[in-house]
Copies of this chain bind each other. A is one copy, B any other.
Amino acid sequence: MASSAVAFATENHARFLSELKDLLRIPSVSTLPEHALDCQRAAEFLAAELTRVGMENVRILPTEGHPLVYADWLHAAGKPTALCYGHYDVQPTDPIDEWLTPPFEPTERNGNIYARGAVDDKGQVWAQVKALESLLAANKALPINVRVLFEGEEEVGGESIAAFVASKPPELKSDFALVSDTELFAPGLPTLCVGLRGMIYTEIEVNGAKTDLHSGMYGGAAPNPFFALAQIIAKLKDENGHILIPGFYDDMIPPSPEEMAAWKSLPFDEEHYRVTEVGSRQLVGEAGYSVLERTWARPTLDVHGIPGGFTGAGAKTVIPAKALAKVSMRLVPGQTPAKAYAQFKAYVEQIAPAGVDVTVRLIHSGDPCLVRVDNPYIQAATRALHEVWQKDTVFIRSGGSIPIVGDFDRHLGIPSVMMGFGLPDDNIHAPNEKFNLKNFELGIRSLIRFLEEAAV
């Protein structure tokens, strides 16, 4: 289908890229207080552009953290309403030494644009804005109703947008969300993410003696909280990574045979993945499941740190009074954070060794999420992607969590179309983050065509 909006986007691509570079030059690192004004600037930059291209009711919504940006265009009577989501905040740049070019000096190299936030998520946010501009410029109207909601705290937990969505404000009433913060499974392969793992992030605190003790004097009589923690942690999974918490797997809904079959056909080279992405001696995980199953569709448990005790250089012969472990579990569809946490807590308390007091705390949690591929918006997306990429869409999951997708589902009752154009080697959260320029261009075209197809 010929689209005058696509033609507009093609003609204006150089300008789109130049504007993206301006956005990338704003160091909107959300976790660093000294960049709070840069986050405000990025929000203002987006609001100004949304206004310029013809979106309406453009507002910068203050929050307790960094502001939200809202806009809408609601004149497509009888058509569905999309809620376009992305985030303008970025990760810190450390280790800064490892960047080949400065993180906030966007640089074109090898067909990519390199900058912090290039793909996560400013480049994808900009693709949404440019798709809207192209449609409005070519047709003086959008094919469907559109609301825009950009946030500036995705990299620090997204509390403000979560609270806003949970309040179910009328201005978020929509039929589906368009979330542009994911990636293609492989270059040139149109991809929709239709499943996300949930999570529970916990702390296990173990208290032994009332105060730190000398390990010479008291070793052999005083409980050692670090040893107790090691005993507990070692009982959480078996040697193969199978989680030993009773009942933990009971409610999980395995992927369908069709989904499993589709995953088997994906271009995935386990050895390449081991060497280039993980870089470990070998991969680990439950026997009998592929890497994609283990990272997308199986619950996992990881230890992130065991603070406390003596952590300096050299030696201190202390039996610490207290130890803490940060332990999280990824959950899959069917599991709920509340039940998983209750099972975890009861098990940890049950296996706590003698002599110590064990306290378990929930730090935060997120629901797993699965999008039905037969919903009409996913179907519209696959038609659009096929036209632009000349290939069938692959449906993948992500092992990570995008909490806002669960919030949209739970509070607004709408599914998300997770259509993103990153690549697995884009170095998100790492030095030399990049966005492939072709993917930026085809991404804008895909988003235009998706909004057009969603009207059909």
Contacts from A to B (Cβ < 8 Å): 31-32, 91-92, 95, 98, 155-157, 197, 199, 201, 208-224, 226-227, 229-235, 237, 239, 241, 273, 277-286, 291, 294-295, 298, 300-320, 323, 325-326, 328, 330, 353-357, 363-364, 398-401, 424, 427-432
Contacts and interface: CB of A to CB of B under 8 A. Distances in A.
Contacts of A430: 211-214, 318
A427 B217 CA distance: 11
Nearest to A220: B294
A377 B291 CA distance: 70
Given A217-B398, A304-B316, A363-B314, A429 B280 contact: no
A357 B309 CA distance: 24
Nearest to A202: B315
Contacts of A218: 277-278, 295, 399
Contacts of A317: 199, 201, 302, 304, 328, 400-401, 429
| Max chain B Cβ within 10 angstroms of own Cβ: one of A222, A312, A432 | A222
A173 to B, nearest CB: 30
B427 A31 contact: no
Given A285-B221, A320-B305, A213 B310 contact: no
B307 A311 contact: yes
11 contacts: A31-B315, A155-B316, A197-B216, A216-B400, A219-B302, A220-B330, A306-B306, A311-B326, A316-B326, A316-B429, A318-B430
Q: Is the interface of A mostly helix, strand, loop or mixed?
A: loop
A284 B399 contact: no
A320 B304 contact: yes
Contact of A315 (B210, B310, B330, B364): B364
B354 A284 contact: yes
A23 B94 CA distance: 43
Nearest to A33: B313
A230 B400 CA distance: 24
Q: Which 5 A-B pairs have the closest CB atoms?
A: A216-B400, A210-B279, A305-B309, A307-B311, A220-B294
A66 to B, nearest CB: 13
